[in-house]
Amino acid sequence: MSATAQQVTQETKALTFRLFKDGDNKPKPWKEQIFQASWSHKCPTYVHRTPPCQGSCPSGEEIRGWLGIVRGMEKPPQGVEWQEYAFLRSTNANPFPSVMGRVCPAPCQTGCNRNMVEDFVGINAVEQFIGDTALEKGYKLAPAGEDTGKKIAIIGGGPAGLSAAYQLRRRGHGCTVFDDHADLGGMMMYGIPGYRTPRDMLAGEIKRITDMGVEVRLNTRVGKDINIADLEKEFDAVLWAIGCKSGRALPVPGADAPNCVTGVDFLDEFNQQQKHSVPKRVVVIGGGDTSIDVASVARRLGYNSVPEDQVKDMGHDNASDGSQVGYVAHDVAALTVREGAEVTLTSLFPIENMTAAEHEVQDALREGVDIQGSVMPVEVVLNGQGMATGLKMAKCTLDKKGRPKPIEGTSYVIKTDLIVSAIGQYGNLEGLEELNNGRGFIDADPYYQVKGRPGHFVAGDIVRPHLLTTAIGQGAIAADTIDRYLQEADLVKRPKVDVHHFNLLAKLNEADLGPEEFIKEEQGELRGTSEAGYAVHNYENRSAFEIIPHDVLFLGHFPYTARKLREDIPVLADEVLGHFGERMKGLSTEQAQTEAKRCMSCGMCFECDNCVLYCPQDAVKRTPKKESTTGRYVFTDYSRCIGCHICAEVCPTGYINMGLGE
């Protein structure tokens, strides 16, 4: 085949929105499909699958569900506001919609099938709207379950520990959270600056969890203030969710200098309001979100030419822009003796391939951070007193395993007064050495049990550092395992496609449309018809096993619709000093609803009427309003259906399959 012919074939396949056998990229004439009587057994079945947004979400949120509620498609139960209904559905999996809507890098958006049309749905933006609205209106989480008499110690009050506490309280188990800080929140509080996770929002979301009856013991370090044996005597199970609070030092000569610190320590000091300025020149090594946070904080703190103890008493309670943002040491008076620090961020990867979120990278560049990509540190340059005065760098390439190799003759030195290493983290297991797997982590089995320690479980970064949403998801999985362990039930693995998916039977019952009671003596033969009211007919739930891909959707149904972006509040380099306000404005109610309507509802009917309008036999009909609910908007009259496939072809969401049981 010629190159031109290959290109034409590839383009034709790329533009084909229908599913055919290999090599068959042209539809058959409609009349051939309509009048093939041998196909008449292949009538429509309504098949529910999981959308890729949820399949990409480490905490398993039912994203399509709460987007459907916000858009007005799925109606709430009587007496419940749609905003509260969206909040309750969202927090089934993740109790932090306000925080996560701001800082989650949103793998759900990367997986969104709408990317095949023009651009992903702004899932994060709508989630933030749900979370902020819930805090504004004072919505509560689902109530605690009936008391079981069981007690669980949760070591660590970060995203994993709090997620587990929430899920365990819903099951009625007693929970006590131990944390060695003055406040709960973990990395959300001490590892991310407040202008990204506003402290009032975070505090409100944490309080909803503790209000469920969670006991909290702060400023308590397990392994020092209390030992493991004492925990085992007091509690029926122990969950280790201590996170990774130790940063990795640079693996180069001279990195043990006093002015070489880790990103974790830098941000922890800042968030505990112990760091009020930085030296004149700062170099940050990393490329991920933590390194961006360090660099952005350093630009905001600035260089203080006056000794810090001379400005401690110059304070006011407000930030430089007049708003209270939770870091009160940064006030107008102190800013008068500060100037902008020179901040450089280096990465092994090219700038466009850095692991940090793209918008965070762009914000840092705009704020005056000098970002250098495809470079590696070689050596810390020391002065006679052993202090770092520079960082020797070299341009580099990466091998197939991601290991850097310096390019000969490209070395140079960045002059610096402070070096911050943000290249990885591990757990601080001092006093807990018996749990250490030798690499600064705690090993977990497939059920998130600690290997070789019955009654001990583990979740979050201490298993393997990853995203906040991953830690939240692991906390929920560990809660499931702990619940089964306490009931002495068999442990089961979490399905690959998560458990927080749409439940048609629950929805029918919620709307008082559940099936009639089946009474064998009255029904006689077990075989029924689609007219029988004791079962849900022509419906299959494959959501626990299948994620619906874009190539089974009818993408041609969806017109180009621009994404509703949150209003960005850009901070320029000459404005960043002392600027600790938020950098984006959330969506309004109207904007959130408009954005939610861009969701293609992959794997679930969104009531477009295509199947009803295009059916040549009038076999597909709307369910009467008094019997209709989400997932039951249409039904098929099998006495009229001839198996022509048209309804399946024009279904935008891939909800219709031809062939019962196939």
- The residue behind tokens 């960043």 is 576
pLDDT at 434: 95
Helices 159-170 & 199-210, crossing angle to 10 degrees?
30
512 and 654 share a domain? yes
| Residues 513 and 643 placed together within one structural domain of the fold | yes
Which CATH number characterizes residue 187's domain?
Answer: 3.50.50.60
Cβ-defined contacts of 337-340 (< 8 Å, 24+): 337/304, 337/305, 337/306, 337/311, 338/277, 338/301, 338/302, 338/303, 338/304, 338/305, 338/577, 338/578, 339/302, 339/303, 339/305, 339/577, 340/299, 340/302, 340/303, 340/368, 340/573, 340/574, 340/576, 340/577
Whole-number pLDDT of residue 338: 73
Flag whether 478 is in a domain.
yes
Number of domains in the chain: 4
Q: Is residue 447 included in any domain, yes or no?
A: yes
Q: What CATH number corresponds to the domain at position 70?
A: 1.10.1060
User: Which tokens hold the place of 303?
Assistant: 């260089």
- Same domain? For 531 and 404 the reply is no
Contact 648, 632 (CB under 8 A): no
Whole-number pLDDT of residue 21: 55
Distance of alpha carbon 361 from alpha carbon 347, whole angstroms: 12
Alpha helix (H) ranges present in 60-122? 63-71, 82-90, 97-103, 107-111
Residue 495 domain-assigned? no
**Are residue 627 and residue 652 in the same domain, yes or no?**
yes
Instruction: Look at residue 301 in the predicted model and tell me its pLDDT.
Output: 95
Shared domain check, 44 and 58: no
Could you read off the pLDDT of 575-586 as tens digits, one per residue? 999 999 998 899
- pLDDT at site 495: 79
Are residues 375 and 446 located together in one domain of the fold?
no
Determine, yes or no, domain membership for 178: yes
Do 238 and 251 lie in one domain? The reply is no
List all residues 6 or more positions away from 65 whose beta carbon is below 8 Å from its beta carbon. Answer: 74, 89, 501, 502
Same-domain check for residues 289 and 387: yes
* Residue 92, domain extent: 52-139+560-596
- Residue 14 located in a structural domain: no
The segments of the chain whose pLDDT lies below 70 read: 1-41, 306-337, 522-530, 660-662
At 536 the pLDDT is 78
Q: DSSP assignment of 411-461, as one string?
A: -EEEE-SEEEE-S-EE---TT-GGG--SSSS--B-TTSBBTT-TTEEE-ST
Tell whether 108 and 169 lie within a shared domain.
Answer: no
Q: How far apart are CA 628 and CA 631, in angstroms?
A: 8
In terms of domains, do 174 and 259 share one? no
CA distance 429 to 606: 50
323 falls within a domain: no
Single out the residue in 381, 405, 422 at which a domain terminates: 422
Domain identity same for 69 and 45: no
Q: What is the pTM of this model?
A: 0.88
